[in-house]
Structure 1
Amino acid sequence: MTTSFKPGTVRARAPLRLGLAGGGTDVSPYSDDFGGLVLNATIDKFAYATITPRDDETVELVAADNSVHWSGAATASLGLVKGLELHAGVYNRIVRDYNAGVPLPVLVTTHSEAPPGSGLGSSSTMVVALVHAFVEYLQIPLGEYDIAQLAYDIERVDLAFAGGKQDQYAATFGGFNFMEFYQDRVIVNPLRVKQSVRAELESSLVLFYTGVSRESARIIQQQTDSVRSGNSTSLDALHRVKEEAIKMKEAILKGDFDSFAESMRLSWISKKLMATSISNSSIDAIYDAAIAAGARAGKVSGAGGGGFMMFVVDPTKRPDVMRTLAQFNGQVFTCNFTEHGAYSWRT
């Protein structure tokens, strides 16, 4: 029996996440000045990365889901290729910091179960999967905090992509987590959520994909500018979003779904005040229709402007809400939670 894999091939996968509460407070400078609090949970949608050694002195990068391909000489630093910036960014940092600047002749192939801009942290999750794959490939002794911080540094510092910190830590650690973000440290607090509460929440959630958001970078920049300028409307909204993260954490631990739904409702009201482009007429129409069909509360997952929306509903009314959402131009999903974060293995 033959195999298409070469010896030494490594794979990694990292779970996408739902930002349940506190999203936006993990973005600098708010997190640096006031401290951020975020409640999130990883779901059964993943980003995948595969590293296969090559026999020649070539690097090949492939984003299989987008049909983007690049190959060239294996050098210590690759130029950034449109559509493959994450691949090249991770390769460059790994070679520089963990392979003494010695080029790596490899084939790097990725695909994700959610597109960039979805609001599920897909880009950051892909960086985590890539980092995890290289850590396994080179047997680099890095722990979970190290991997998450490295992924953050590559995406936010090396590549200068706007965004916060929660996505890298959610993908790395996995499960339900209450995260604290400060200027000099991040603290991940795993939550022991009862199985009955997990099952009820899984039965109560509806996800709706509105389309890829092209607003996220501008929204994040608006939020950043508002914090730096001391805009009281945006700052007060961020403070309230952070307070609701605490309340929602307590609601989940107690299994109090009335408080959970109310916290999500109030969080969405406050979130829309953080920046002007977070919602729009299309998002508002989808939200209003879902509520009229029986949803108890909802919000956009991620920066806003598009991507995924999530709704919490009475499980008996979930089919009604899903039928209503299906009338809009988008896709309706359900999801299950995952207990584990990023993982890598050899084939």
Structure 2
Amino acid sequence: MDDKNQVIRGKAPLRISFGGGGTDVAPFCDDRGGAIIGSTINKYAYCSIIPKNTDEITVHSLDFDMTVKYNAKDTHQYDGNLDLVKAALNAFSINKGCDVYLQCDAPAGSGLGTSSTVMVALLSAMAKWKGVSLDFYELADLAYQVEREELGISGGYQDQYAATFGGFNFIEFHGRNNVVVNPLRIKKDVINELQYNLLLCYTGKIHVSANVIKDQVSNYTNNNVDAITAMSEVKALAYGMKDELLKGNLHSFGKLLDYGWQSKKRMSNKISNPQIDELYDEALKAGALGGKLLGAGGGGYLLMYCPYNVKHKVAERMEQVGGQLSDWNFELRGVQTWSHNNDRWPYNQIQVDIPDGNYKFNF
């Protein structure tokens, strides 16, 4: 597709994890198997590609107000500037010019899987441009390979698979090429009630997941018994959350969120901090049953489960102690791609003919 009037777009949803976080990180998942339960939400990463008849590749990061140019014939070196894009270009051996636009509804370090979701949106758009057919497992695995192995970015498997498949999933991990995504068939009434009872609160602090994951992996490889026991508990709780959610036992589900959070904090002392602990404790005092920090830990978004009759009190208290509440909903679709003809802009005039007469609108 070389028509400069064509734009190819990829759109992938960000995710929230309910339980099992950290058990998808090697070597724990390689040795013992990991399990994650979570869902995607209506916040997205977007990629737009506009082919050009030149050798110039221009990448526009709309979130960071950054523009970087490359020559399509050159080897792209990783230097910390939009390396996700360069790795995706290398993955598809892109040797034609294009404009690439990237945008995400949440900041990096928010705990919603932003970098992996951007990668999924980027690779899906490039695959459509190149005419490469990838099923969801192949796309998620490619995103993992490019981000974790090619670029060496620390993290687990869940983000790439969540963004690709979308919806509520229970995902089991036994290392590379042995990931099984189990879509959960949850009644609409249960989804609506769960949404009504959840609060998503931004802590105002960006986390550096690599530091947390490095410490977690170190605890495992150094045979830290308490940390390893905590990882096994977090994995078991993911199975328990799945059962309670499928049964529609949402208050039990909310309490399990608390058990999971208490266990996860024992996996690494970098997962929480006094500010987050205060925010969480105040939410419990106001009536929340449980919750957890999303992502690896250290900052980002805090998810809290609150019975509907105290949700407003929890929300008020969290804002009083510095939390920023977010408007959101569940998204049941995964990655989407499409192409579109760019408008032939600027127009000089549009003429509209209707039975009452002819109308002209000048620009």
Answer yes or no: is 1:230 the counterpart of 2:230: no
Q: Counterpart in 1 of 2:238?
A: 245
Report matched runs for 1:1-347 at 5 Å. Answer: 6-95=4-93, 103-183=95-175, 184-347=177-340
CA–CA separation in structure 1 for the residues paired with 2:281 and 2:188: 31
CA separation in 2, counterparts of 1:87 and 1:329? Answer: 35
The one-letter code matched in structure 2 to 1:345 is: W
Residue-by-residue CA offset, 1:76-104 (whole Å, 9 max, x unaligned):
53223534121111111111xxxxxx512
* Consecutive unaligned residues in structure 2, runs of 5 or more: 341-363
Q: Partner letter of residue 225 of structure 1? A: S
Q: What is the rounded CA distance, in whole Å, between the counterparts of 2:6 and 2:183 in structure 1? A: 33
Classify the secondary structure of the residue corresponding to 2:137: helix
Note the alpha carbon deviations across 1:229-284, whole angstroms, 9 max, x for none.
Answer: 22111110000000000000001000001210121110001000000110110000
SS at match of 1:9: strand
Post-superposition Cα deviations, 1:2-23, rounded to whole Å, max 9, x if no partner, equal: xxx9423101100000011001
Gaps of 5+ in 1: 96-101
Q: Deviations over 1:277-314 (max 9, x none)?
A: 10110000100111112211111011000000100001
Using structure 2 for the length normalisation, give the TM-score.
0.90
* Number of aligned residue pairs: 337
SS class of match (2:310): helix
Q: Specify which structure has the higher proportion of helix.
A: 1
Distance 1:76 1:164 in 2: 31
Rounded to whole Å, the distance in 2 between the matches of 1:286 and 1:192 is 33
CA displacement at 1:316 relative to structure 2? 2.4
Measured in 2, the distance between the counterparts of 1:65 and 1:140 equals 28
Q: Determine helix, strand or coil for the equivalent of 1:45.
A: strand
CA-CA distance at 1:211 after TM superposition: 2.8
Larger-gyration structure (1/2) = 2
Cα contact 2:251–2:307 (8 A) shared by 1:
no
Q: Structure 1 vs Structure 2: percent identity of aligned residues?
A: 39
| Contact 1:16/1:47 (8 A) holds in 2 | yes
Contact 1:37 1:179 in 2 (8 A): yes
| 1:22/1:245 contact within 8 Å kept | yes
**Does structure 2 conserve the Cα–Cα contact (< 8 Å) formed by 1:70 and 1:81?**
no
**Partner in structure 1 of residue 359 of structure 2:** none
Deviation, 1:57, is: 1.4
Call closer, same or farther: CA 1:212–1:344 in 2, change over 3 Å. Answer: farther
How high is the TM-score relative to the length of structure 1?
0.94
Aligned counterpart, 2:360: none
Contact 2:110 2:207 in 1 (8 A): no
How large is the RMSD of aligned CA atoms in angstroms?
Answer: 1.4
